[in-house]
Amino acid sequence: MRFELTLNRTTKQRMLPMDYQYYISAWIYKVLKQADADFANFLHNKGYGKGDSDTKLYKLFCFSRLNFGKPKMWKEKKLFEISTHEIKLQISFDVNEVACNFIKGLFMAQEFYLGDKFNGIDFTVANVAALSEPEFTETMRYRLQTPWVVSYQKENDKYPSYLSPKDELFEGLSMKHLIEKYNNTHHDLFIEPDQIKVKRLNDFKRSGFVIKPDTPQQSRIVGNLFDFELYAPVDVHKMIWNAGVSEKSSSGFGWVEVSTDYMTSSK
């Protein structure tokens, strides 16, 4: 389920690091931990999954970019200067309805600081609104709002490579990830490889951001922005709507919206 949070600035601070996604992810974990340490630790350390030693475990939530209008950009300082006092943020969780109602209450009236030790903004959550789902069918068209990350690490490589759609491994690995993500977290339906297909609808743009800034683990993760058509069981569409389509969705990658072109043509 998706929620839209209305954030109000509470001080005169206006500068926000451009790579703010890591700080949002850390804040989400902090909110969960304040209310239920076991639930937060489960999400952060394991996510959902079968727990097999050879199976990746997934953290089934995602979040959008901040909607703050058109800020002034200080590219050399990697900062946004934000003038608006009301900012929107959407977050989503692929959990059952009971858990969603619990989560909605956690975020209401939260007060928090978003940013690093030099630049950031104090916010309060003024409102939390549950958003309705689109009408899902087996074939849907989506527009990526945050990059779709597909990584590949060779046996002797120290760091993974972040693939683009031009790489021959991109499509196969992206579909493998979705199938594993679904099969390891949903047990009412088992997805076979021939049940899911993706088609890119336009050119792609490379995009990414830094995670864990100012730490020894700092790294820049790079993905791809494009529109795509996905053929898959309806439950898979619901999963990517609520948990992102990408690797590293809990860091804000792989947030999708239904393509407006598709919605217009399907009426």
pLDDT digits (tens, 9 = 90+) for 225-266: 999 999 999 999 999 999 999 999 999 999 999 997 755 455
Which of 251, 258, 207 lies closest to 228 in space, CA to CA? 258
The reply to whether CATH 3.30.70.1890 applies to domain 2-131 is: yes
Spatial contact of 191 and 207, defined as CB atoms under 8 Å apart: no
User: With 50 as the cut, is the pLDDT of residue 32 above it?
Assistant: yes
Per domain, the residue ranges of the chain are 2-131, 139-265
Element (H, E) at 206: strand 205-211
Q: Per mean pLDDT, which range of 75-79, 165-169, 188-192 is the poorest?
A: 188-192
Helix residue spans in the chain (DSSP H): 21-35, 37-45, 97-107, 170-183, 234-243, 260-265
pLDDT of residue 20: 95
Residues classed as catalytic? 29, 44
More confident residue, 145 or 46: 145
Q: Given pLDDT bands bounded at 50, 70 and 90, which one contains residue 197?
A: very high
Three-state DSSP string of 74-105: ECCCCEEECCCCEEEEEEEECCCHHHHHHHHH
**Can you give the pLDDT at residue 212?**
85
Q: Given this model, what pLDDT does residue 156 score?
A: 84
Residue 173, SS3? helix
pLDDT for position 52: 52
Query: What's the pLDDT at 55?
Result: 53
pLDDT at 267 (0 to 100): 47
Structure tokens at 103: 């989560």
Whether pTM exceeds 0.85: yes
CATH topology of domain 139-265: Alpha-Beta Plaits (3.30.70)
Closest C-alpha among 230, 226, 228 to residue 139: 230
